[in-house]
Chains A and B, each alone.
Chain A
Amino acid sequence: MKVTMTVNGATCSGEVEGRTLLVSFLRDTLNLTGTHVGCDTSQCGACVVHVNGQAVKACTMFAAEAQGATVATIEGMADADGTLSPLQQAFQDHHGLQCGFCTPGMVMSAAALLAENPKPTEHEVRHYLEGNICRCTGYHNIVKAVLAASGQDIPAVAAE
């Protein structure tokens, strides 16, 4: 069947099977390989994208269910000229990533959090990121980055 959706502002169409996952459509059909697959049980969150403004796991949603939807992926987070968004910039400034594999999902989840809750507490950040597993950072700098992106004073919450 044919599906059409708006991805990062552009209208995109492609042929899919019923079983084609949204993440496969993004990666294999649209070649948007920034969205990653890290597990098969809907736990790790490397595949988080926004569908109609809400964070979802693209590995646990069929492409056909995104028919007509507005989808945002990590590739659409920076400005058109390549300037990082404040959230992305905070991840770099605070060393919120190491191998980078969980990073797209982490950024998309964090962006969804800040849209819902512009000044989250440390506790709220940690809980919101419950569905995003990072093996490299121990989350320390990710939490710092998200708090920083929300405009909060970082040295006050964590020194190193």
Chain B
Amino acid sequence: MYAFDFVRPTTLADAVAAMAHDEAQALAGGQTLIPSLKARLASPATLVSLTGISEMVGVCRADDGAVCIGGATTHAQVARDAAAHYPALAKLALGIGDPAVRNRGTIGGSVANNDPAACYPSAVLGSGAVIVTNTRRIDADDYFQGMFTTALESGEIITEVRFPVPMQAAYIKFEQPASRFALTGVYVARYADGVRVAVTGAAEQGVFRWFEAEDALSANFNASAIAGMAPDADGMITDLHGTAAYRAHLVGVLTRRAVQAA
């Protein structure tokens, strides 16, 4: 690792101030960032740890019924505390990484990083969640802008993610055998105004909505409504662990399974 200054503010205001330093980088749970620092793939001058800010931690229910999750809330805490409010989201959190990773990794870190194989982006996009930062609110549909790319400005901190709670939802992850990230993962959520289907792991653009399936499922929320369907393989990832065609096929299979599980 390159050397850096390490600050661990205890308030959001202090964190925002610290992020104003040149080449400051926010450190959430660090489960992705620390390995890349070890590989010297990043060289921040200042690392601003967000793990000591209690106002950014916790799960609560807003007046409009949305489940609000503080940006620095760990996966383990979401798995535990969101279970009563939004079981599919809690279950997704329980399937990220392994227990030790879940005890450190946070929702804000995952959503800010927008790894194309991460689980959370599919729940955020699939739920039409709102990403709340220190400066604004961003709709999920505007937030994800391609792999490792988001609408976040430099220095902007995710303070909360607000999830409208669907009538039914499920996430099915098909694990990449080595990393246990999603080789492909599908999040299906049924709301009064329609069904959302978000896919992670599969596409070069990162998480995306499969609109064709959404339309079919909105008309008939049953796996049979999308029997034999799969998205176009164009734009899907081909790598060591699967071709674009395989991933496209998996999207269809997993979506059907998610509908059955929802």
Contacts and interface: CB of A to CB of B under 8 A. Distances in A.
The reply, when asked whether chain A contacts chain B directly with Cβ atoms under 8 A, is yes
Nearest to A19: B1
A18 B104 contact: no
Contact of A109 (B1, B5, B99, B180): B99
Contact of A56 (B1, B5, B100): B100
B103 A18 contact: no
Interface in B37-80: 37-39, 47, 49, 51-52, 76
Interface in B10-43: 27, 30-31, 34-35, 37-39
B207 to A, nearest CB: 22
Is the interface on chain A under 10, 10 to 19, 20 to 34, or 35 or more residues? 20 to 34
B32 to A, nearest CB: 8
B4 A56 contact: no
Most chain B CB within 10 A, of A19, A51, A109, is at A19
Interface residues of B, number: 29
Contact of A65 (B35, B51, B98): B51
B148 interface: no
A45 B4 contact: no
B8 A64 contact: yes
A60 B103 contact: no
A40 interface: yes
Contacts of A60: 30-31, 34-35, 101, 104
29 contacts: A17-B6, A18-B3, A18-B4, A21-B34, A40-B38, A42-B31, A42-B34, A45-B98, A55-B99, A57-B104, A60-B31, A60-B34, A60-B35, A60-B101, A60-B104, A61-B30, A62-B49, A65-B30, A65-B49, A65-B51, A65-B52, A67-B8, A109-B99, A112-B99, A128-B98, A130-B98, A131-B98, A131-B99, A131-B101
Interface of A: 1, 17-19, 21, 40-43, 45, 48, 51, 54-57, 59-62, 64-65, 67, 109, 112-113, 128, 130-132
